[in-house]
């Protein structure tokens, strides 16, 4: 059974105090169907500053389903919606007890369990929320583009590293007719495996750090001569893309080779043990930009490589992160559609060890990078710049830096400087979207 389905996403803690519009709407909809209850509920705890709503996640492996003694809970194979058959429901409340998300509305007095049924696919609460805090996550729209995963399970990357997830996502969208190119770095562990053990089922090549775009050129051109259109996709780190391999990247862009080049930017040479690269941010700690004695991390700002690539005027350039998969998917599809030149996608890929955060927090870090405008999501498409994810109220950079030990030594002066860099860069992109 396909495990990716649409689900409701509720923004954390942005509900207006006292608001219950979503619940009211749901109750009204249910009543029109002759049912009594609501699939969504608001929580207001003013003392704690908590104002939010909660609903069922439509889990891919619902524990409520397993717990139900009467078999009245089912997960629809077609739309993924978890439904309760009221006629069979005993009203025991076990589902409510086992759900870790509080997604079941159980009323002991009526001996009834009730839950969200996504209004069978078009949830009405989405339309009434006054702060637009509820949205329908259309995971199915992503899954619809997925091909078979060419990577086996398990890899020798660090536990929790988002680079593997990112590459898996990229390759599932790209499909099997892809030649994959890597260079020495973290992702090589996935692209080439270790030793003679490989975990990939598409043609892949570990190049030298200086020869990725050129080798892609050779493969692409040879197959073009044979009359075959093949996808040549690179997935390399910032050391390769923005430092030692930057000249050939620029050369391939100038020649406008029909290749898709992706840089997973973990802002340093992480596979060699955390040394600074040209994308290490201002103030960032690495082993070669220490934060001790006279040194306070990197003295200069990062190289703005996606913007430099856009200056090459190739058909498509974008920034992307795995934390915003719809945005990422759209960008991959656009890159794949380009048949007359080069596409470049710059991906922020946090490093647990090198940036200093706890294992499960990769997505939190990614999200903070986007929400503070540290890593704005934008694209350049045939002369036009566009911000693809507008951050309504950008958070201060401290909301990002506080998550990462690599910034722990920064004092107000450096934080201000970093904020200034973030503002300046975001404004530059913003102005480009207005000018072009």
Partner 1 sequence: MSSIDLRGQIRVLDGNRAGAYGVLLCKPDVIASYPITPQTPLLETLYKFEAEGLFDPEMVEPEGENSAMGTLIGACAAGGRTFTATSSQGLSFMNDAYLLAAGNRFPIVMAIGMREQVSPHGVISGQQDAVLVKDHGWIQIYTESCQEILDSIIMAYRLAEDEDVLLPVNVCYEGFYLSHHSQRVEIPRQEEVDAFLAPLKGMNRLKWTLEEPMVFSSYTVPPELYTEYRYKMCMAHQRAKAKFDEIDREFAAKFGRSYGGQIEEYRTEDAEIIIVTMGCSTGTAKVVVDRKRDEGVKVGLVKIRMFRPSPKERLIKVLNGKKAIGVIDRNVCYAWNCGHNYIEIKTVLSDLDRPLPVLLDFIAGLGGADITDKHVEKVVERTIDAAKGKTYEPVTWLSLE
In this structure, what DSSP letter does residue 46 have? G
Distance CA 333, CA 144 (A): 12
Q: Which is nearer to partner 1, 87 or 197 (CB)?
A: 197
Q: Which is nearer to partner 1, 216 or 368 (CB)?
A: 216
Q: Which is nearer to partner 1, 120 or 254 (CB)?
A: 254
How many Cβ atoms from other residues are within 10 Å of residue 299's Cβ? 10
Q: Shortest Cβ distance from residue 312 to partner 1 (Å)?
A: 12
Q: Shortest Cβ distance from residue 272 to partner 1 (Å)?
A: 14
Query: Exposed, middle or buried: residue 19 (CB in 10 Å: 0-12, 13-18, 19+)?
Result: middle
Q: Shortest Cβ distance from residue 211 to partner 1 (Å)?
A: 3
Q: Which is nearer to partner 1, 344 or 385 (CB)?
A: 344
In our burial notation (b when 16+ CB lie closer than 10 A, e otherwise), range 57-85 reads bbbeebbbbebbeeebbebeeeebbbbbe
Q: Which is nearer to partner 1, 122 or 201 (CB)?
A: 201
Query: Exposed, middle or buried: residue 229 (CB in 10 Å: 0-12, 13-18, 19+)?
Result: exposed
Q: Which is nearer to partner 1, 182 or 284 (CB)?
A: 182
Distance CA 206, CA 191 (A): 7
Q: Which is nearer to partner 1, 214 or 419 (CB)?
A: 214
Q: What's the token pair of residue 152?
A: 């086996």
Would you tell me which residues interact with partner 1 (CB under 8 A)? 176-179, 184, 188-189, 191-196, 198, 200-208, 210-225, 230, 247-248, 250-252, 254-255
Distance CA 289, CA 357 (A): 18
Nearest by Cα to 234 from 273, 271, 188:
188
Q: Which is nearer to partner 1, 233 or 421 (CB)?
A: 233
CA atoms within 13 A on the CB side of 269: 16
Distance CA 200, CA 192 (A): 7
Q: Shortest Cβ distance from residue 247 to partner 1 (Å)?
A: 6
Query: Exposed, middle or buried: residue 166 (CB in 10 Å: 0-12, 13-18, 19+)?
Result: buried
Q: What's the token pair of residue 31?
A: 């009543």
How many Cβ atoms from other residues are within 10 Å of residue 360's Cβ? 10
Question: C-alpha distances in angstroms, 409 versus 166, 283, 292, 298?
Answer: 30, 9, 9, 12
Q: Shortest Cβ distance from residue 143 to partner 1 (Å)?
A: 24
Distance CA 37, CA 20 (A): 14
How many Cβ atoms from other residues are within 10 Å of residue 385's Cβ? 20
Q: Which is nearer to partner 1, 40 or 191 (CB)?
A: 191
Q: What's the token pair of residue 294?
A: 């006279």
Q: Which is nearer to partner 1, 29 or 308 (CB)?
A: 308
Angle, CA of 197, 201 and 204, to the nearest 5°: 80
């Amino acid at each position: 059974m396909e495990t990716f389905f649409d689900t409701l996403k509720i923004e954390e803690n942005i509900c207006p105090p006292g608001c219950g519009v979503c619940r009211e709407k749901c109750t009204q909809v249910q009543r029109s169907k002759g049912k009594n209850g609501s699939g969504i509920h608001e929580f207001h705890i003013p003392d704690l500053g908590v104002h939010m709503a909660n609903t069922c996640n439509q889990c891919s492996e619902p524990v409520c389903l397993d717990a139900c003694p009467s078999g009245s809970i089912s997960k629809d194979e077609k739309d993924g919606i978890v439904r309760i058959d009221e006629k069979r429901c005993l009203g025991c409340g076990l589902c409510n007890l086992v759900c870790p998300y509080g997604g079941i509305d159980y009323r002991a007095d009526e001996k009834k369990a009730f839950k969200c049924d996504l209004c069978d696919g078009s949830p009405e609460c989405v339309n009434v929320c006054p702060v637009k805090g509820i949205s329908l996550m259309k995971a199915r729209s992503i899954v619809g583009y997925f091909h078979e995963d060419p990577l086996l399970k398990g890899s020798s990357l660090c536990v929790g590293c988002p680079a593997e997830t990112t590459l898996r996502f990229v390759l599932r969208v790209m499909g099997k007719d892809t030649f994959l190119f890597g260079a020495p770095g973290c992702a090589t562990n996935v692209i080439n495996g270790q030793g003679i053990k490989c975990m990939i089922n598409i043609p892949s090549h570990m190049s030298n750090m200086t020869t990725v775009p050129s080798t892609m050129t050779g493969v692409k051109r040879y197959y073009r001569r044979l009359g075959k259109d093949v996808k040549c996709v690179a997935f390399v780190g910032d050391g390769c893309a923005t430092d030692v391999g930057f000249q050939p990247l620029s050369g391939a862009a100038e020649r406008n080779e029909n290749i898709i080049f992706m840089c997973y930017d973990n802002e340093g040479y992480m596979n060699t043990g955390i040394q600074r690269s040209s994308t290490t941010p201002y103030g960032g700690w690495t082993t070669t930009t220490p934060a001790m004695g006279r040194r306070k991390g990197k003295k200069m700002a990062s190289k703005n490589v996606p913007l430099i690539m856009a200056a090459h005027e190739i058909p498509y350039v974008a920034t992307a992160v795995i934390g915003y998969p719809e945005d990422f998917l759209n960008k991959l599809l656009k890159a794949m559609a380009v048949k007359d030149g080069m596409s470049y996608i710059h991906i922020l890929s946090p490093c647990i060890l090198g940036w200093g955060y706890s294992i499960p927090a990769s997505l939190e870090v990614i999200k903070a990078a986007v929400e503070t405008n540290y890593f704005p999501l934008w694209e350049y498409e045939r002369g036009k710049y566009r911000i693809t994810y507008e951050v309504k109220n950008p958070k201060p950079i401290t909301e990002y830096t506080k998550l990462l030990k690599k910034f722990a030594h920064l004092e107000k002066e450096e934080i201000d400087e970093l904020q200034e860099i973030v503002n300046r860069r975001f404004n530059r992109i913003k102005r480009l979207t207005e000018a072009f």
